[in-house]
């Protein structure tokens, strides 16, 4: 009996995902540990591995399909010791997975079950629609889109089924379906995404409609909820960086033989973590009628990745050395950009830091990342006129703005955290003790 491959839950909160890409095709032999697919969750695109051995007999869900529910059958694997199912049994096995996929079809798209019903209609239908032509769901979709008559394609899949590889092999030789041969003059061209005007915008403006990824949808939802549900209060301080920059240079010189190079952000992560330990009333989360107070500082670091933003976590940053923070931050940022983070590496955290100084941004305010109650927004360090020892001088100044959830953190408590952060950055040896 075929083994059902189901959509996995790649994070504790995952309910559905996008089957971004198949890394195998029908007829491939797989073993435990082989990569089967790339699945896009609300935070990252993750690889899905096989746990069983056998031959991929059917890819039930086409790559690019969105909203695939956790637990839905996405493929079938034929065990190595199993004989191919008879044609009648294969047709029955094919019908069942299609019924499950019906729930994940895009709005407006024809459900596979409906297609099967049409295929059973009398002989007025074309061979491509006829039930006697066995083809995988993916091959049927591609054939329909390309106008290929499946009756003219030889199948190499189980029981003579037409699979995607057969369409690729017959490209240019298969006869088009009747519907595709209609003269172009009989059908008005559909507007493309690039030419379709957006409501409320002039139709003479060149534009493109870009579909939102799962990540962008979740970012939009969570940030909207944060601004609507968490009353933000913003506190800003100017911080002199010269002492920190000098210490960074000295530390980098001593760490060079170990292959470690500290960034300014690594030291700021450490400063925020130590400040949270000094002002524990800011290291909290609001939870309705309770307040959760954390005993260590796990700092979420905002990292820009293609299509969105993710916040990998430096856990226990208050007790780690700056060298350890630098090494871990570099590794997490690299794997975040490659979409290879595990859920536990970006879910959680007790506070966040977002640094846009590398873009030349002088000052900004950041949106709190729920359920956290604060985020530190850091601007660029720049030479400014500044009072040093009661005299006007030129110093390297950075502006930092803390965003606080006023339900959990009062303004005076937030101010204490900003003071502690400023003191630690301006006297950095204190945070290394």
Annotated catalytic residues are: 406
**Beta-carbon contacts of residue 282 (< 8 Å; ≥ 6 apart):** 275, 276, 351, 373, 374, 404, 409, 413, 414, 416, 417
Q: Which of 354, 353, 375, 377 shows the shortest CA–CA distance to 365?
A: 377
Give the integer Cα–Cα distance in Å for 81 and 102. 31
Strands 351-355 vs 299-301: parallel, antiparallel or unpaired: parallel
User: At CB < 8 A and 24+ separation, what contacts does 175-184 make?
Assistant: 175/148, 175/149, 176/147, 176/148, 176/149, 177/126, 177/128, 177/143, 177/144, 177/147, 177/148, 177/149, 178/126, 178/149, 179/126, 179/147, 180/146, 180/147, 180/148, 181/147
Helix (H) or strand (E) holding 253: helix 242-255
- 54 contacts 80 by C-beta, under 8 angstroms: yes
Q: What is the DSSP string of 361-411?
A: ---------TTBSEEEEE---EEEEEEETTEEEEEEEEEEEEEEETTTS-H
- 279 contacts 320 by C-beta, under 8 angstroms: no
**Beta-carbon contacts of residue 234 (< 8 Å; ≥ 6 apart):** 365, 401, 402, 403, 404
Instruction: Extract the tokens encoding 222.
Output: 């969570």
Q: Which of 237, 287, 213 shows the shortest CA–CA distance to 417?
A: 237
């Amino acid at each position: 009996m075929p083994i059902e491959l189901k959509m996995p839950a790649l994070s504790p909160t995952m309910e559905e995902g996008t089957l971004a890409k198949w890394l195998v095709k029908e007829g491939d032999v797989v073993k435990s540990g082989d990569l089967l697919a790339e699945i896009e969750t609300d935070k990252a695109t993750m690889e899905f591995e096989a746990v069983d051995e056998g031959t991929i007999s059917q890819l039930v869900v086409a790559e690019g399909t969105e909203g695939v529910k956790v637990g839905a059958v996405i493929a079938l694997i034929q065990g190595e010791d199993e004989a191919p199912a008879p044609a009648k049994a294969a047709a029955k096995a094919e019908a069942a997975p299609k019924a499950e996929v019906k729930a994940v079809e895009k709005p407006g798209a024809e459900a596979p079950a409906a297609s099967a019903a049409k295929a059973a209609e009398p002989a007025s239908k074309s061979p491509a629609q006829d039930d006697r032509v066995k083809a995988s769901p993916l091959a049927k979709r591609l054939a329909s889109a390309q106008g290929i008559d499946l009756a003219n394609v030889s199948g190499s899949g189980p029981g003579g089924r037409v699979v995607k590889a057969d369409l690729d092999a017959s490209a240019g030789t298969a006869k088009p379906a009747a519907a595709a041969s209609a003269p172009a003059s009989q059908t008005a061209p559909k507007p493309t995404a690039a030419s379709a005007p957006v409501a409320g915008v002039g139709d003479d403006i060149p534009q493109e409609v870009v579909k939102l990824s799962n990540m962008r949808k979740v970012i939009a939802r969570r940030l909207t909820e944060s601004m609507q549900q968490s009353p933000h209060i913003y506190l800003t301080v100017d911080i002199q960086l010269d002492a920190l920059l000098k210490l960074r240079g000295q530390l980098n010189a001593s760490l060079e033989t170990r292959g470690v190079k500290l960034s300014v952000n690594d030291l700021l992560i450490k400063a925020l973590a130590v400040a949270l330990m000094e002002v524990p009333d800011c290291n909290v989360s609001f939870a309705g009628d309770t307040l959760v107070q954390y005993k260590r500082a796990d700092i979420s670091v905002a990292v820009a990745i293609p299509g969105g933003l993710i916040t990998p976590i430096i856990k226990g940053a208050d007790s780690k050395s700056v060298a350890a923070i630098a090494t871990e931050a570099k590794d997490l940022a690299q794997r975040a950009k490659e979409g290879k983070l595990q859920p536990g590496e970006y879910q959680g955290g007790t506070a966040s830091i977002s640094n846009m100084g590398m873009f030349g941004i002088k000052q900004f305010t950041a949106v709190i990342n729920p359920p956290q109650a604060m985020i530190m927004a850091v601007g660029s360090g720049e030479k400014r006129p500044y009072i040093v020892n009661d005299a006007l001088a030129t110093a390297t100044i950075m502006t930092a703005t803390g965003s606080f959830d006023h339900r959990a953190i009062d303004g005076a408590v937030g101010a204490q955290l900003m003071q502690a952060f400023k003191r630690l950055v301006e006297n950095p040896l204190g945070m290394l003790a």
